[in-house]
Structure 1
Amino acid sequence: MNDCTKRTNGARWGAAIWAAGVLAALAALPPAASSRLPDRLATHWGGSSPDGSMPLWAASLFPALIWAVLALSVAFAGRRGGAAARPWAGVTLLSGGVFLAGVQASIVRANLDRAEWSDASSVGTGVTVTVVAATAAGVLGWLAGRRGGAPTSGEETGGATRMEIPEGERFVWLSRAANPWLHLTAALTGLVAAAAALAAAGGLIGLQWALIAPFAIASTLVLFCSSVQARVTEKGLDVAFGPFGWPVRHWAAQDIKSARAESRTPAQVGGWGYRLSGLGTTVMLRAGECLVIHPRKGTEFAVSVDDAERGAALLNSFSTRQAS
């Protein structure tokens, strides 16, 4: 299985976990607070006062059905649309999930400890915060989807240590890699943090930072170490991390003494992700071929991407040209 297929499978599993998590949250939030809720829940407001209600079971089932239809529609459109549909799929899943979950939490909080649904408090603040969060999530989904295309590379060439570059020609080498298991780990730890935050927003528990913060930080760190893009141009090497291509490490061509392709394993470098070892720094997403650079200052840096030999050859050519 190549890196493109692994990355696609990892994204699909991540989307599936997100869809299932949102579905569970929408369906479970009202029943979880049933002992503190009236028989019917206020579900619609005219201004600051409620003017519509549903039985508790309907308030739980209706948004879950909306989400299920939306998620299935996105899955179908994604299969039909291919890579071009990924940005819109990311926008819809992230913004839609955040919006529905936020609205459900706002409804539950407004109905907590009320004798009748007509006594429910306003949801204005909660919905406003939800809209802002859903918009931000949609932007992140778009950026992640835009970077999810298939890996590309420069001109076909042999596996020489240097690459011949004709006068007037510009060569660029680009390779991406992702680890689906790290994607899944980021999704699962993120769901734990999101579930705790959602329960707090719904008023079921207090704001448990001791639970939310560690899982949120772990999810973010793992996510940014779960995929990488390496790019070689005449300016040098850029290595971008995570689904949004940030942060980026840059080495100028003249600052690189040499580059090579080398096979490494997680056991050699101490595990998966961003690793520091006796071999220097290694971004280990899968065992096998790595692009390794030897800077003029500092320790070696390696990144596990396909087609490393060609990237090293092009980088050596640029380094020699800049140094001369």
Structure 2
Amino acid sequence: MTDRTKTNGARWGAAIWAVGVLAVLAALPSAASSRLPDRLATHWGGASPDDSMALWMAALFPALIWGVLTLSIAFAARRGGAPSGAWAGAVLLSGGVFLAGTQASIVRANLDRADWKDAGSVGTGVAITAAAAVAAGALGWLAGRHTRIPAPTEQPAGGDVMEIPAGERLVWLSRTSNPWLHLTAALTGLVAAAAVVAGAGGLIGWQWALIAPFAIASVLVLCYSSVQARVTEAGLEVSFGPLGWPVRRWTGQDIVSARAERRTPAQVGGWGYRLSGLGTTVMLRAGECLVVHPRKGPGFAVSVDDAERGAALLNAVSPERAG
């Protein structure tokens, strides 16, 4: 995976999230306008509302806040003093969840009220939203930290078995990301999130038959839209998704041999985590794969760059090859 591919995937995911949140913030009051008063209660002093906005302003104001936030992050990135992926992910996820949840709480409080002064309380909804925003921010931070690739270190040239100088410990790390799978995860997640916000806002009932399949699909696709392979003296570790979970591990003693091999989606039956006559293949892009032959079980392959070097180092830590 090139830096450009990884960056484009992250940018597309962030763009879809930004546009989706903007659409929810602007459209939610308009979608419920027939059941809302001309002015919406937008501020509460305790349990009772004490301020209001016109319906159009209640839709526009949080959308403007979100627009300024996302454009500020984009501007910082273009200026070169880009915020870290961890920081940007935390702000975008937590900010989007908080604004969308608060908008849904405001709409629900005003729903079917003749006057904004009769609006219900938003305390419970805002408390739940704040907790969800904190959780989303933590996930964004962890995902950004996990996807940071350390600076490369000097390594001997690759080969069938890499010679490791006495007293040195080498690490090989490679990551692949499929931007189309990221887009699929983002789109299915937005469908589920929109249904949740609409349900929280009282526009529709809780449509679990819609929410659950799209949410599960989004999580599963996201988990297998990126992969990281890491070889150390302990063996091979392959982690999936932005959080590096789930993880598969093999010790050096578990592996008979490793090699680099070119594979295509047609050979293994498609994209993602595939089972075929070749064994298990994590196929995120056609081309070079790191292929290992465990002592027990079927072969395992993962599509990552610089697979030849990774295989050479893995053979060096395998007692059967190194001996």
Category of TM-score, reference length = shorter chain? over 0.9
Partners of 2:229 and 2:239 within 8 A in 1:
yes
User: For residues 174 and 96 of structure 1, what CA distance do their matches in structure 2 show?
Assistant: 32
Tell me the secondary structure at the aligned position of residue 84 of structure 2: helix
Instruction: Number of aligned residue pairs: give it.
Output: 323
Aligned-partner residue type, residue 125 of structure 1? T
**TM-score (normalised: structure 2):** 0.97
Q: Which residue of 2 aligns with 1:174?
A: 173
Per the alignment, residue 84 of structure 2 pairs with 85
Q: Is the 8 A contact 2:73 2:83 kept in 1?
A: no
In structure 2, the partner of 1:56 is: 55
Match of 1:4 in 2: 3
Q: Which amino acid aligns with 1:296?
A: R
Question: How much has 1:156 moved relative to structure 2?
Answer: 3.4
Q: Distance in 2 between matches of 1:73 and 1:301?
A: 43
Matches of 2:245 and 2:190 in 1, distance apart?
22
CA offset at residue 80 of structure 1? 3.3
Q: Which amino acid aligns with 1:43?
A: T
Moved more, 166-175 or 314-323: 314-323
Give the Å deviation of 1:76.
1.3
**In 2, Cα distance between the equivalents of 1:82 and 1:146?**
17
2:117 matched to 1:118? Answer: yes
What SS does the corresponding residue of 2:6 show, helix, strand or coil? helix
TM-superposed deviation, 1:149: 2.5
Give 1:74 deviation, angstroms. 1.1
Tell me how far apart the structure 2 counterparts of residues 36 and 226 of structure 1 sit (CA, whole Å): 41
Determine the C-alpha separation between the residues in 2 that align with 1:154 and 1:71.
35
How far 1:166 sits from its partner (Å)? 1.1
Q: Which moved more, 1:314-323 or 1:156-165?
A: 314-323
| Contact kept in structure 1, 2:315 and 2:321, CA below 8 Å | no
Deviation at 1:78, TM superposition (A): 2.6
> Gaps (5+ residues) in structure 1?
none
- Give 1:208-219 correspondences, 5 Å limit: 208-219=207-218
1:283 is paired with a residue of what secondary structure? strand
Distance in 1 separating the partners of 2:83 and 2:30:
39
Cα distance, 1:146 vs. partner?
1.1
Superposed CA deviations along residues 183-220 of structure 1, whole A, max 9, x for unmatched, are 00000000000000000000000000000000000000
What pairs with 1:195-206 in structure 2 (closer than 5 Å)? 195-206=194-205
Question: What code does the residue aligned with 1:269 have?
Answer: V
CA distance in 2, matches of 1:231, 1:72: 35
Displacement of 1:128: 0.1
Contact (CA 8 Å) 1:29, 1:60: kept in 2 or not?
A: yes
The match for 1:312 is: 311
State the shift of 1:7 in Å.
1.2
* 1:291 aligned partner: 290
In structure 2, the CA distance between the partners of 1:58 and 1:83, relative to structure 1 (3 Å rule), is closer
Residues 89-104 of structure 1: pairs in structure 2 closer than 5 A: 89-104=88-103
Displacement of 1:105: 0.1
Amino acid at match of 1:159: G
Query: Deviation string for 1:19-46 (max 9, x for gaps)?
Result: 0000000000001000100110000000
Determine what percentage of the aligned residue pairs are the same residue: 76
1:234, 1:322 → 2: CA distance? Answer: 13
AA aligned to 1:118 is K
Cα deviation 1:267-320 (Å, max 9, x = unaligned) = 000111111111000000100000000001000000000000000000001002
Deviation at 1:75, TM superposition (A): 1.0
Normalised to the residue count of structure 1, the TM-score between the two structures is 0.97
- Equivalent-residue separation in structure 1 for 2:26 and 2:71 (angstroms): 17
Indicate if the aligned counterparts of 1:152 and 1:174 stay in contact, CA closer than 8 A: no
Deviation at 1:87, TM superposition (A): 1.2
- Deviation, 1:238, is 0.2
Aligned runs of 1:18-57 on 2, under 5 Å? 18-57=17-56
Q: For residues 86-145 of structure 1, what are the alpha-carbon distances to aligned partners after superposition, in whole Å with 9 as ceiling and x for unaligned? A: 111111110000000000000000000001000000000000000000000000111111
Against the structure 1 CA distance between its residues 315 and 221, is the aligned structure 2 distance closer, same or farther, given a 3 Å change threshold?
same
CA distance in 2, matches of 1:76, 1:297: 51
Q: CA deviation at 1:12?
A: 0.1
SS at structure 1 position matched to 2:237: strand
